[in-house]
């Protein structure tokens, strides 16, 4: 019988990576643009980074932001911050300088690790960012006195004593904001540990796998795949960007076995096979999982033709709760293009506005109950309370559960645009365009896009005598919004459709741009 009050041997994700290191320190951990790094060498740098972070003399629980591209150093930092009792704030490197300032200010970040090529963007708002110069560390090839290599070079690589508890904050992931400003979803060490570990189990990842990670690891999705791969001792092929031709080469060269790709990445991959038929050199590939937007039927057909030995799966969820469903290849078409059944350890519920649970087949808001919920939105208790009903959490989507327990989505979060796997809320764009001197009123909706699934279209009521073009709107958004949020088309009209309460009828606007009978999910 265990002694009363015995402490757990695994407190955070980094503890699992340490286990993989001890098991096989000389095996390859990461293949990346600059070469190869073994588990032993990778972990030594994690320990040095953790000790260097402790040397910053920040209080436990202090937030530290990472504004950088994919690299082994990014993953080292993620794990070192866990070991040192600090909270990681991954920041989307596509944000504008003003959006970066907001996230740093809202999170209360006390230190920043930034890619050298992004420093000019930081400098645009440097005077408004309350982080000391000696706590801004530069990643990548740089001669900066605050370079990352200099930061860790003289630090000890001795093990760091435990500085956090399982339920203390580990990370803050910023989500797009329905009010025009993003919210920081706070996850505990236990939430990350159970969530990522269950996904690794679900995907069947082991030390025999080679996973391909070409998407930004500031996203919980791509980041979780890289980290859980390291937890089991797999080899990670990490790229700073996704290119179809390079992806084909990487899959063949490194004999990739499994990957997570958003739908437009899979589409780009298939474009490298214009003749159709089986793609040679993919004998080791056993599976690809997707998420972010619905997989079109032609894409599924193309995948099955190109990779007959591999399975294609789908997952659905939101930042706060993670992937709450998983749909196996064999269930995709059989269940009428459902999003699958509840993920490992998760329960699903469909509820009406009164909070009452609906029966099978009845539509309502989608709720999930995870083994370990997120801790809430940073500094926003009201927003946290609004998305919870007891142990249940919702992302605001509407759907139903059929008799077999498969979830079917009827509509995304109200007004949400999903472009190339990125979530874009119209309010973020409208907040900026409302300041345009020639815009009287504006509403933004998602419209079909053959490459990205959909893109933002600005529906604008111009001021008298104004002449508005896409170019002028793009120029105005520069520096105010991330480029992927720029409206790629505009539609001018005399007035916006509204209901009797004066609320803009976005659905009315949106429907006119979608093909008759085509479902927007």
Check residue 519 and give its pLDDT. 40
Q: How confident is the model at residue 505 (pLDDT cuts 50, 70, 90)?
A: confident
SS in 3 state form for 165-212? CCCCEEEEEEECCCCCCCEEEEEEHHHHHHHHHHHHHHHCCCCCCEEE
Q: What is the pLDDT of residue 401?
A: 96
Radius of gyration of the chain (CA): 23
177 pLDDT exceeds 60? no
Please, what sign has the CA dihedral across residues 87, 31, 25, 201?
Answer: positive
Q: How confident is the model at residue 158 (pLDDT cuts 50, 70, 90)?
A: very high
Query: pLDDT tens digit string along 444-457?
Result: 999 988 888 899 99
The predicted model gives 119-144 an average pLDDT of: 94
Helix (H, G, I), strand (E, B) or coil at 45: helix
pLDDT of residue 76: 98
Residues across the chain: 521
Report pLDDT for 396. 87
Indicate the pLDDT class of residue 500, thresholds 50, 70 and 90.
very low
How many CA atoms within 13 Å lie on the side-chain side of 338?
22
- Calpha distance 54→56 (Å, rounded): 5
Better-predicted residue by pLDDT, 235 or 423: 235
Give me the mean pLDDT over the 482-486 stretch. 93
> Is pLDDT above 90 for 3?
no
Give the pLDDT mean for 41-51.
Answer: 97
Torsion angle, alpha carbons of 55, 59, 61, 65, to 10: -60
Nearest-angstrom CA–CA distance, 343 and 328:
11
Residue 425: pLDDT above 90? no
Q: Which pLDDT belongs to residue 295?
A: 81
Pairing of strands 453-462, 87-90: unpaired
Tens-digit pLDDT profile for residues 78-130: 999 999 999 999 999 999 999 999 999 999 999 999 999 999 999 999 999 99
Angle between the 426-433 and 470-477 helix axes, to the nearest 10 degrees? 100
Q: Is the pLDDT of residue 501 over 50?
A: no
Give me the pLDDT at residue 162, please: 78
**C-alpha 176 chain-centroid distance:** 11
Residue 189 pLDDT > 70, yes or no? yes
Domains parsed from the chain with CATH numbers: 13-189 (3.40.50.980), 339-414 (2.30.38.10), 417-511 (3.30.300.30)
Percent of the chain residues topping a pLDDT of 90: 71
Q: How high is the pLDDT of residue 426?
A: 83
The model's confidence at residue 486, banded by pLDDT at 50, 70 and 90, is: very high
- pLDDT of residue 498 exceeding 90: no
Q: Taking Cα atoms as reference points, which of 368, 367, 364, 369 lies closest to residue 400? A: 364
């Amino acid at each position: 019988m265990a002694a009363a009050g015995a402490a757990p041997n695994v407190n955070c994700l980094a503890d699992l990576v340490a286990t993989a290191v001890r098991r096989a320190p000389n095996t390859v951990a990461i293949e990346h643009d600059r070469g190869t790094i073994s588990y032993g060498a990778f972990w030594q740098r994690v320990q040095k980074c953790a000790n260097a972070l402790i040397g910053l003399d920040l209080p436990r629980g202090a937030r530290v932001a990472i504004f950088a591209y994919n690299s082994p150093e990014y993953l080292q930092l993620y794990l070192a911050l866990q070991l040192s009792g600090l909270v990681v704030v991954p920041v989307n490197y596509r944000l504008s300088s003003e959006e970066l300032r907001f996230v740093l200010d809202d999170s209360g970040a006390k230190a920043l690790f930034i890619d050298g090529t992004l420093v000019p963007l930081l400098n645009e708002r440097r005077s408004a960012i309350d982080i000391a110069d000696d706590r801004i560390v530069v990643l990548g090839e740089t001669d900066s006195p605050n370079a990352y290599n200099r930061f860790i070079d003289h630090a000890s690589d001795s093990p760091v004593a435990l500085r956090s508890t399982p339920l203390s904050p580990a990370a803050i992931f910023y989500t797009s904001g329905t009010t025009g400003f993003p919210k920081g979803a706070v996850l505990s060490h236990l939430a990350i540990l159970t969530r990522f570990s269950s996904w690794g189990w679900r995907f069947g990842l082991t030390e025999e796998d080679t996973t391909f990670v070409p998407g930004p690891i500031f996203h919980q999705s791509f980041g979780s795949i890289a980290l859980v791969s390291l937890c089991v001792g797999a080899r990670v092929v990490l790229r700073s960007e996704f290119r179809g031709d390079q992806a084909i080469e990487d899959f063949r060269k490194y004999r990739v076995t499994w990957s997570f790709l958003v739908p437009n990445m899979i589409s780009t991959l298939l474009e490298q096979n214009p003749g159709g038929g089986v793609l040679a050199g993919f004998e080791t590939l056993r599976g690809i999982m997707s998420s972010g937007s619905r997989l079109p039927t032609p894409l599924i057909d193309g995948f099955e033709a190109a990779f007959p030995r591999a399975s294609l799966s789908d997952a659905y969820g939101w930042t706060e709760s993670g992937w709450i469903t998983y749909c196996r290849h064999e269930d995709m078409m059989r269940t009428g293009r459902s999003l699958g059944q509840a993920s490992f350890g998760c329960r699903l519920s469909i509820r009406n506005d009164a909070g009452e649970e609906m029966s099978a087949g009845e539509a309502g808001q989608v709720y999930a109950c995870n083994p370990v919920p997120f801790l809430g939105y940073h500094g926003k208790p009201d927003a946290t309370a609004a998305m919870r009903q007891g142990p249940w959490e919702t992302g605001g989507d509407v759907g139903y559960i059929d008799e077999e327990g498969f979830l079917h989505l009827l509509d995304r979060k109200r007004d949400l645009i999903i472009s190339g796997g990125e979530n874009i809320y119209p309010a973020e764009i409208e907040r900026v365009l409302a300041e345009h001197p020639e815009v009287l009123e504006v509403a933004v909706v998602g419209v079909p896009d053959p490459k990205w699934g959909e893109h933002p279209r600005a529906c604008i009521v111009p001021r008298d005598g104004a002449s508005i073009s896409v170019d002028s709107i793009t120029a105005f958004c520069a520096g105010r919004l991330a480029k992927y949020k720029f409206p790629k088309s505009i539609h001018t009209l005399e007035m916006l459709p509204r209901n009797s309460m004066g609320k803009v009828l976005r659905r009315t606007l949106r429907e006119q741009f979608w093909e008759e009978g085509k479902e927007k999910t």
